[in-house]
A = this chain, B = another copy of it.
Amino acid sequence: VDYQHVQVPFEITLWIMLASLAKIGFHLYNKLPSVVPESCLLVFVGLIMGGIIYGLNDKSPPVMDSDIFFLYLLPPIVLDAGYFMPSRPFFENIGTILLYAVVGTIWNVFGIGFSLYGICQVKSFQLQDVSLLHNLLFGSLIAAVDPVAVLAVFEEIHVNEKLHILVFGESLLNDAVTVVLYKLFRSFCEMPAIKTMDVLAGVGKFFVVGIGGILVGLAFGMISAFTTRFTKTIRVIEPLFVFLYSYLSYLTAEMFHLSGIVAIIACAMGMKRYVEANISLKSHTTIKYFMKMWSSVSDTLIFIFLGVSTIGENHEWNWPYIFFTVIFCLIWRALGVLVLTFFVNRFHVNTVTGKDQFIIAYGGLRGAICFSLVFLLPEFHRKKLFIAATTVVILFTVFVQGMTIRPLVDLLDVKKKRESAPTVGEQIHIRFLDHLLAGIEDISGHWGQYYWKDKLEYFNSKYLQKFLLREYDQPKSSIVLLYEKLERKHAIELAEAGQLGHAPSPPPLLHSAFPCSNSHRSVTTDGKPEDILNPDVLENIQEILARNLFRIRRTVPAYNRHTLPGETEPAEQAKEILILRHRSL
C-alpha cells in the first residue's frame, strides 16, 4: 500500500464526501432540518468527528487551516452570494447597508475592545496582562458578522427581502473594515510606538481597501464578459471563465491586501448580465448548478471543520473574559443597530421597524472568518484565551441564536418574504414609478438614486453592451420571444390535454401585442389564466417587461437630454410583430 503518494487528494476527497453524505443524511429525515438549522447539525457532526479523532490519536485533531479557508473554502461561497445577489433591493438599500457595515462594525470593534479592556482591569479576574491593543485586536476579529453563518441561517427563515439584504449585505461589505482594522491593530501590536500618522494612514487605507477591491472586481468582471464574446465555437469551456476570472479577482485583491470578498462580489455582479447574454443556455445551467453545488459543499466543510477544530487543547479557559465577550458582543451590536437605525429612519420614508431592528441585531452571527483570523494572530501568551473566547462566541451564535431565531421571527410576526411573485400589474407600476422618479430627478437637478440608475443604464446600452455583448447588432425583441413562448406553452397544454385539433382553440394570446400593457391584459383575459399565470411564466413576463420598458422609455422622446425623438427601434419591433402575425395567418 502506497498511501503517502495519494494522501493529499485522497483525504480532500474523503472530507468532501463526508460533508456530502452528512448533507444527504440530514435531508433523509424531513423533520430535522425544519427544527434545527443545518449549520448546527454540521457543527455537531464536526464535534463528534473531532472527538473521535481526539479519542483515537490522543492529540488535538487538526484545526482548520486559515490559508485553506481563505484561499479555497471562502471564495466559492462569496462568489455564489455575489452572483445570485438580488441587485434591486441591494442597491436600493446600499446606503443603509454601508452605514451598518462600516460605522456599525467600527462601533462594535471599539465598543467590545474598550469594554473588555475595562473587564481586564478587575484584579480578581487575573487578566491585567491583556493590553488595550490586544483587546482592540480581539475586538476587530470578533466584531464582524459572518456572511457564511448569516447565509446558512437566513436562507431557512425567509424574512422579508429588505431585512435579509440588510443583514446579508452588511456581513459581506464589513469585510473591508475587518481587514483594515485587523491588520492595523496587528501591526500596532508589533510596533514599539504608535504615531498619529499611522492612525491617519489606517483611516485612508480603509478607502483604498474597499474601493480598490471594487475596482479590481469590476475590471476582472469586464474582462470576463469580454472573453465570453469569443466562445461561440467552443461552448464547452464557457463556464470555466466565470469561475476563473472571479477567482483571479479574489486572489489579486488578496495579493494587494485589498478586500477579496468585496472584489469577488463586484466581479460577479458586474459580469453576470453580460456573461448570461453571451453564453449558451446549457453553459448557464452548468454555471448556476455548479456554483450552488460548490458553495454548498464549501459551506458544509466549513461548519464541519468548525466543529472538529473546537475539540482539542488549544483553549485557555477564563470564565469572566469569555462570559463578558459574549455579553458585550450582544450588547454593542444591539446598541449599534438602535443608534444607526435612528439616523437611517430620519432620512428614509420606508423605515426599519422595531421588529426588524431586533432581528438585525439578533442575526449578527459570527462564524468561520473570526475563527480563521484568531488562528492567524501572531503568537503571544494569551492567544489560547482569545481562541477559546472566539470559539464560545461562534458556538453561542450558531447554536443559541441560530436555533431560536426562527421561533422568534414567528413569535414577533416579522414580515416574511412574500410567497408569490409580484403581479405583472405591480411590476409595471413599480417600473413606471422608477421612470417617473428618474424624470423628476432629472428635471429638478437632484442627483438621487433614480438619476444615477438611469445614467448607468444609458452608459451601459450606449457603450458597454456594444463592447461586451456578442450579438448586440441583432437585438431580438423579447416581447416577441415571450409571445412565441406563451403560444408554445399553450400548444403543449393543449397537446397534453389531448385537445389538439379537437376543441375550438382559444384565440391567439396576442391581439395587439404593442404597447406592452396590452400584452398583460390579453394574458389575464385569456380563457385559462390560472394555467398561464403560474409563477414561472410570471417571472419571465416580469423580466421581459422590465427590460423592454426600459428600452421603450429611452427611445421615445423623454425628459432625457441625450436622446432625440424618432429612433428606429419601436418601428422595428412593430415590424417584427407584423411579420410574425403575417406568418401565422
Q: A230-B28, A491-B494, A495-B487 are in contact. Are A293 and B255 (CB under 8 A)?
A: no
| Binary contact readout A334-352 vs B (1 if CB under 8 angstroms, 0 otherwise) | 0000000000000000000
Contact (Cβ within 8 A) B251 A13: yes
Q: Are A24 and B500 in contact (CB under 8 A)?
A: no
Check B286–A244 contact: CB distance below 8 A: no
Indicate whether A492 reaches chain B with its CB closer than 8 angstroms.
Answer: yes
Query: Is A400 part of the contact surface with B, judged by Cβ < 8 Å?
Result: no
CB distance from A258 to the nearest CB of B (A): 11
Task: Decide if A248 is an interface residue (CB 8 Å cutoff).
Answer: yes
Is A283 an interface residue, CB under 8 A from the partner?
yes
Of the listed stretches A57-65, A232-240, A325-333, A563-571, name the one at the interface; the rest are far from the partner chain: A232-240
CB distance from A60 to the nearest CB of B (A): 25
Q: When each residue 242-285 of chain A gets 1 if its CB lies under 8 Å from chain B and 0 otherwise, what string results?
A: 00100110011011110000000000000000000000001101
Per-residue CB contact flags for chain A residues 391-435 toward chain B (1 = under 8 Å, else 0) read 000000000000000000000000000000000000000000000
Partner of A292 from the list B27, B236, B248, B506 (CB cut-off 8 Å) is B236
Check A255–B16 contact: CB distance below 8 A.
Answer: no
Of A3-11, A148-156, A532-540, A542-550, the segment with at least 4 beta carbons within 8 Å of chain B is A3-11
Contacts of A24 in B (CB 8 A): 227, 230-231, 234, 237
Please state if A6 and B240 are interface contacts (CB–CB under 8 Å): no
A sample of 28 cross-chain residue pairs with beta-carbon separation below 8 angstroms, ordered by A number, consists of: A2-B256, A6-B254, A9-B251, A10-B252, A13-B247, A14-B248, A20-B240, A20-B241, A21-B227, A23-B234, A24-B230, A24-B234, A236-B292, A236-B296, A237-B296, A239-B293, A286-B289, A286-B290, A488-B495, A491-B491, A491-B492, A491-B500, A494-B500, A498-B584, A498-B585, A500-B505, A500-B508, A501-B501
- Check A504 for interface membership: any CB of B closer than 8 A: yes
A1 on the interface (CB 8 Å rule)? yes
Report B-chain residues with C-beta under 8 Å of the C-beta of A6: 71, 251, 254-255
Q: Which of chain B's residues have a CB closer than 8 A to the CB of A227? A: 21, 24
> B5–A234 contact, CB under 8 A?
no
Task: Known A17-B244, A244-B20, A504-B501; judge A233-B30 contact (CB<8 A).
Answer: yes
Chain A contact residues, majority secondary structure: helix
CB-based contact A293/B240 at 8 Å = yes
Q: CB-CB contacts of A480-521 with B at 8 A, as 1s and 0s?
A: 000010011011101111101110111010000000000000
Q: How far is the CA of A367 from the CA of B352 in the complex (A)?
A: 65
Contacts of A289 in B (CB 8 A): 236, 239, 282-283, 285-286
Verify if A462 is at the interface (C-beta below 8 Å from B): no
The docked-state distance in angstroms from the alpha carbon of A255 to that of B11 is: 12
Whether A234 lies near B27 (C-beta < 8 A) is: yes
In the complex, chain B residues whose CB is within 8 Å of the CB of A16: 240, 244
